[in-house]
Amino acid sequence: MRGRLTIACPVCSRSFHPKGVSANGERLVVHCSQCGVELEIPQLSSPQPPTSQGEPTCPKCSEQRKEGAVACAKCGLVFKKWSGPQELFGQREHLKKQWEHVRTLSMDDSGHFDFLERCFKEGRLNDAVQAYKALGASHNIDVADKIRQLEILAQMSVTKRPRPNLRKRTWLLLFMLALFLLATAALWSITPEDLLG
């Protein structure tokens, strides 16, 4: 059985299951079902401002590099440690195979949901974003809904049901057992003479 996705509200500190996402201008928002506060869902990636051609830029955030700089002034990337873009889904061959199948499906097929859920559980949402963007660009497909779903998943976490407090449950059972034994003893002590008065 799949775990239910929930959002932890930062205002009332309670977890809730979102009933829907709405757009408020250019923002995506959900409403806490407990306290009603509107929560904004941040975008996974924001477009970087273009820089003039020929100028060296940071490979991570596209900020203009200052001459002789060891690290990016904006994102802090150390240029010597940059190894270039990594292969999508890393060493997870099962995700690569699933993506090869999913990319051939129509965008409303349930296979996409299963793939997104697996990427979420394995912490590969950024790879999924890149894969869907590349698919949209190469096949001229609108993948905006999938990107939105990935942005929402990035803000969610699977919360486990709290385990019941076994100590409280044990004390409650002992208390009920004691009451039952007292009631039984009281009934056994009644004689026919007591009933006849």
**Does residue 15 fall inside a structural domain?**
yes
How many domains does the structure of the chain reveal?
3
Check whether residue 28 and residue 90 sit in a common domain. no
Mean pLDDT by 10 residues, the chain (197 residues): 59 70 65 73 51 65 81 80 68 87 88 87 84 84 84 66 74 93 88 74
Check whether residue 147 and residue 137 sit in a common domain. yes
Check whether residue 35 and residue 73 sit in a common domain. no
Check whether residue 128 and residue 117 sit in a common domain. yes
**Does residue 23 fall inside a structural domain?**
yes
> What does the buried/exposed string (b/e) look like for 160-195 if buried means 16 or more CB atoms within 10 Å of the residue's CB?
eeeeeeeeeeeeeeeeeeeeeeeeeeeeeeeeeeee
**Does residue 174 fall inside a structural domain?**
no
pLDDT at 175: 94
Check whether residue 90 and residue 154 sit in a common domain. yes
**Does residue 186 fall inside a structural domain?**
no
Residue 62's domain spans which residues? 54-83
**Does residue 91 fall inside a structural domain?**
yes
Check whether residue 116 and residue 134 sit in a common domain. yes
Check whether residue 142 and residue 127 sit in a common domain. yes
**Does residue 172 fall inside a structural domain?**
no
pLDDT at 43: 54
Check whether residue 89 and residue 142 sit in a common domain. yes
Check whether residue 98 and residue 158 sit in a common domain. yes
SS (H, E, C) the chain: CCCCEEEECCCCCCEECCCCCEEECCEEEEECCCCCCEEEECCCCCCCCCCCCCCCECCCCCCECCCCCCECCCCCCEHHHCCCCCCCCCCCHHHHHHHHHHCCCCCCCHHHHHHHHHHHHCCCHHHHHHHHHHHHHHHCCCCHHHHHHHHHHHHCEECCCCCCCHHHHHHHHHHHHHHHHHHHHHHHCCCHHHHHC
Token duo for residue 48: 């970087």
pLDDT at 143: 85
Check whether residue 156 and residue 105 sit in a common domain. yes
Using CA atoms, how far apart are residues 3 and 151, in angstroms rounded to an integer?
19
Check whether residue 30 and residue 58 sit in a common domain. no
Check whether residue 76 and residue 130 sit in a common domain. no
Q: Work out the angle at residue 95's Cα, subtended by the Cα atoms of residues 161 and 87, and round it to the nearest 5 degrees.
A: 120
pLDDT at 173: 92
**Does residue 126 fall inside a structural domain?**
yes
**Does residue 21 fall inside a structural domain?**
yes
